[in-house]
Amino acid sequence: MIKRTDVEFEVDGNVKLRGWLYVPPGEGRRPAITMAHGYAGVKEHALEPFAKAFADAGFVVLLHDHRGFGASEGTPRHDIDPWRQIADWRRAISYLETLDVVDVKRIGLWGTSYAGGHAIVLGATDRRLRCVVAQVPTISGYEQGLRRIPPENVATIEEAFADDDRGQLRGDAPRRQAVVSDDPSVAASYRAKDAIGFYLRPVPEGAWDNSVTIRSTRAARMYEPGHWIPRVSPTPLLMVVATHDTITLTDLELAAYERALQPKRLVTIEGGHFDPYLSMFQQSSGAAVEWFKLHLG
């Protein structure tokens, strides 16, 4: 029987990141996988089935909440700096290395959506990882912004960024917007129906708020993990791409895959951005399990 325990580890000396550790039955050190969620999500957002699938396949699994989200500490709450999340994730790898159930020579990483972009950056810059999986990954924040934000709305968004920065100079708290909303009068990161349906799925009370800082959007529009993809090699890279992804954009992902060097593998999943979590879970999780078994043993 898989054992799940609550764990925590420190970053920056005093901020505790918290998550779940899954340990499959057996003795000795096992290969391990470190996981985290995408933009403004928490571990309760459809990630536990992936963690259980990996643990059922014999891997120790660490699934943590990013700083400022879910069970993890960190202020301001619901504020996303991709480079800080990447630095924190390195600490998660180091935490795994301290566990007596983990074979430190066999650690892999799985990231999805925004954290799929992190998977590419970490695969390129942390050689402790023996392989990585990037599911529906962010490739270019700039290009995504061009597709999702009508040109006539760009000036309004840029002014919101500037007003937020002026407020912070005065000592104001960072300004906020919704993560998802179908109300045009409510500022939100996502308005697509599939995004609204995914983020508003029931989660335990207190696990998630429909709120994110406005400056997180600015940071996302500056984030270009696709630049790192040729540098992932020689670490093996699996990319799981949805064929009709309007969030991280199928064509950007496929073009990025072409820039990646061997060893690499591409798995395409029929559907939109959130189908690999939901209707096509068996296919996406199965591809990841196969990749981890191949490269972690």
Q: Cα(36)–Cα(58) distance, rounded to whole angstroms?
A: 19
To which CATH superfamily is domain 3-142+224-296 assigned?
Answer: Alpha/Beta hydrolase fold, catalytic domain (3.40.50.1820)
Q: Tens digit of pLDDT for each residue in 189-234?
A: 999 999 999 999 999 999 999 999 999 999 999 999 999 999 999 9
Assess contact for 95 and 34: CB atoms under 8 A.
no
Q: Predicted confidence band at 290 (pLDDT cuts at 50, 70, 90)?
A: very high
> Assign residue 106 a region: left if phi > 0, alpha if psi is -120 to 50, beta otherwise?
beta
* Whole-prediction pTM: 0.97
Q: Tens digit of pLDDT for each residue in 15-31?
A: 999 999 999 999 999 99
User: Where does 136-183 show beta strands of DSSP type E?
Assistant: 176-180
Contacts of 73 (CB under 8 A, 6+ apart): 15, 16, 17, 18, 67
Q: Cα(56)–Cα(229) distance, rounded to whole angstroms?
A: 30
DSSP-derived letter for residue 28 is S
Which pair of structure tokens corresponds to residue 142?
Answer: 């700039």
Q: Tens digit of pLDDT for each residue in 139-188?
A: 999 999 999 888 898 899 999 999 999 999 999 999 999 999 999 999 99
Distances (CA, A) of 211 to 37, 61, 77, 155: 16, 28, 9, 22
> Assign residue 271 a region: left if phi > 0, alpha if psi is -120 to 50, beta otherwise?
left
Q: Predicted confidence band at 125 (pLDDT cuts at 50, 70, 90)?
A: very high
Mean pLDDT over 262-275 rounds to 98
Contacts of 87 (CB under 8 A, 6+ apart): 11
Q: Cα(234)–Cα(295) distance, rounded to whole angstroms?
A: 12
Assess contact for 115 and 36: CB atoms under 8 A.
yes
Which pair of structure tokens corresponds to residue 146?
Answer: 């061009």
Report pLDDT for 251.
Answer: 98
The pLDDT mean for the chain works out to 97
Report pLDDT for 151.
Answer: 87
pLDDT at 295 over 90: yes
Q: Tens digit of pLDDT for each residue in 75-116?
A: 999 999 999 999 999 999 999 999 999 999 999 999 999 999
Report pLDDT for 13.
Answer: 87
